[in-house]
Structure 1
Amino acid sequence: MKDLSVKSLSWLITGLFLYGIAVAMLVQGSLGLAPWNALTSGLVAITGVSFGMMTNLIGVVVLLLWIPLRQRPGVGTVLNVLLVGTSAEIGLRVLPQPSDLLAQVALFSAGLVLLAVATGIYIAPGLGPGPRDGLMTGLHERTGAPVWLCRAGVEITVLAIGWLLGGLVGIGTVAEALLIGPMVHRTLTYFRSLYAGRPAAAAVAAETRAGA
């Protein structure tokens, strides 16, 4: 049974809230979005629904796709659907959109760092994957295809649809695709160790040496 302590829930909720704020920073940076956020921005452009609401709606739809894949959501999965879009909407209302390129790059870069940190925080308690990650692992389990192929197939499809709908795709999309993986690798190692009460800095150093 998953650890539903005050500690685990507070980490989960904090991480998900910060994740939504990070998404808002990337959107306001206007340099390009990751596949799922590009899809969201494309659907927002044609429906007029707010970005936060559309994020939550897409999460619900993706969660329904878990049914034929026989995936079971956790507390983290449900709260992911409810909180990320909501906090992203708060961030979009509070954060101004920069008017010059330097400020855009600074906001986007800060958003990318916060996204990696938030991911490490909300995953550390192990209370369930987000709906999009669960879709990919579910496809892997049902089809036998490698996880990387399932992830690539889903994200390329989502990005293509988002682009066709007018979603925000640009240099930031490429930057996020290249950088977020290594960044999350570090933050996840750090926050898992911190959550477990182990020396986090030493764990990151060891993990870095092992991967070198």
Structure 2
Amino acid sequence: MTRFYKQSGFTLARANPSTRILLTLFLVTVLAGCVVALLQYSGKSGGFSSQDAQRWVQGNEQDFESEELYPEKSPREILAIVHDHIFAMAMLLFVVLHLVELTPWSEGPKITLSLLGYGSLALSLLSPWWLHWQWSLAPLTLRAGGTGLLLVLATGSLACLDELWFAARRRRKSGTKEPDAPAPLFPEKRNNGGGCPLDQPDSQPDDS
């Protein structure tokens, strides 16, 4: 994606057709994953409720009336679960949020979305441990983390799809000027007409 920053004036709205189609397929797949996750974690659809997650981690071997018995997860098993998700979800968030950086959103919403996304990921990864230690708020943090992740991924994907296909048309109809391309890294030091600051060895962040 860094190559997009190296192209002067690049935005999602100015992407060529092949790039638009590729990004659209990726973003639609992310949205489909969000829908599947909603179905999975909806109690009405037979997925995991907070009680289901608690039983899955803590086990229900003492409940002899249960239709299905779950053994208690060991710390090693919980570590394996966290390991499986931490890299995959972190990379997915990074890609989606990186694309959001190519929209004309202001810095505030972009930073908020990033903090919410990775904060929700942290809650989701810590919650199995808290469930294991039987912390009373663990089911709530699990729900909050999962909800936050879905919200960030869906919001970012929809924002990028809108910028790819619809935002430019709305701006043309309303006579609004096309926003400037996002300025990466240290824009106040950039003087190469929209190129990447990495091309300038002397470029340094402003410490003031």
TM superposition score normalised by structure 1: 0.27
The structure with the largest helix share of the pair is 1
Instruction: Tell me which structure has the larger Cα radius of gyration.
Output: 2
Higher-RCO chain (CA-CA 8 Å, sequence separation at least 6): 1
TM superposition score normalised by structure 2: 0.27
